[in-house]
Structure 1
């Protein structure tokens, strides 16, 4: 049964190389040079890289050693999360001048629903331009934006003209835009899924659209329905001012690899303490505790345990984390430990449904 698409005016604002840009803002001598936030030439992991560094293949989550190998003159800068948070709050205050429907995804990106906005401006495109200009004038940083009828398309569009650009996908352009889009650029399609789709002859949105729902569900499980709908422009998720987290965690990368559980216990206590602080700040508790272990060879191991009750107390979290640590013999020396809490007491919130089919109304001024 066909239904009318709930047309909205959604903007996705994404700061350009946010962490690195903040470092350049505070230290102009870094401008024009390849910069990586986090990591070092010997160890650690890159948290972010500016566009100069990206030219050499430096990416977030890359080891500092490999980043330095790709770019010998790379400059490593220690992350300053308090400063990034401070700048992020200034940017969000600009968003709230236009709408209260702001959904932050992280410190450097957010969705805005400006269908009805405080400025009374019917053009989401002009609002996005104005917001980006204000961020540049008032904060000193560049931002990119995507504008369209739903969050999915706006998210994809924001990456279209990066850096320091924007892309509007009008209602009448949605079908062609998605059909022409390379499958690896679909939000939610990672490297592994993209390779699987290539083997099935799916290289573009048009190829994906040609596959029936049953085919996609057979090969991609519950995600099959998601792919089936988004390629048709169907994504009815609303902008939520208060996003409900699925998990809360904390982790640490060590300067020197740890080779004994005894040395790890003290670190786990600090991690559990940080996790407790985050949980209490958000007034969240959970049942499933996961211990994350990254070895010196970068292999990752996770161990989980679900308790019969909700916890947020450091002592209970640490007790379970210790149990998980001793659950299996360590495979190698350890470079990172993390603890996360899932199965939260926020999980009973109502989830959103997706529509099965749609006929898009095209008369909508952007």
Structure 2
């Protein structure tokens, strides 16, 4: 309840700041869709469009706050999670009825937050593994990604497709990035402790529904040739990986104090299982970002190439710090970091420019 109140109080200032910054930071003028092949990347098609969407978003937010106030006056017959779910559903309904982008962004964020909050409540007093909540969030990201490609059937849904794809990529990449880190592996060990999620029929049913939708939508988009077989296999592989994580028994990622095995994780000692999972997560996040870049090249989507290049560069720099910070002297570490940053940045930028120039040449021809 307190969290939702804080979120509600901060949402309006954030929206106002973002609204004005969107005008200040835009690098190019608003153009007509017919004169720009990447018109769907524009959050704002015109100033009038921005103002109308902004006030619609405010009305949805105020509706949620009003429902919360009425619910409190009536003695809280519904939980705040239910109010959040109702608000997110109304936001998504208005999105498709009025074809507005701001309400879609809010709806996707709200529905994801609802799942995490509701699943957390379902696990209370049952000692259910936290991996079920984590995997459910990853499933939501995979579903967003699949729905993004589903919206590519018609050009009028192209902007919606971009939003779904972006949120899906961010959710999936964040989950993999976190698990591949030192902190993520520690959390991975903790979140497998407890009883299976099958002890809660709500979580079991929710994960099953998400799984069915992911498989159903992904099968549909591959049969309609909206995605390549490579992307389809990537969706299935990630779904399988997260599904395995949800079913895992308690894992011992680190040795107890007193063992003599060492790892690259800052003095923490990885067990054999920990080394295996560290290798798996690091390989998966690396190939996921490489696949993102090549997918952008094959689909002629420059924003995918740019996003993949940025995330891959960030991954390389973070892994350098994660692996070598405790082994190298501080001066050598920072000198090496500077050299690595320069080399990686140069190669990534050169490769990105080559890919984008090839896409432009193919588009013009």
**TM-score above 0.5, yes or no:** no
TM-score (norm 2): 0.26
Q: Which has the higher contact order (CA 8 A, sep 6+)?
A: 1
**Normalized per residue, which structure has more helix?**
2
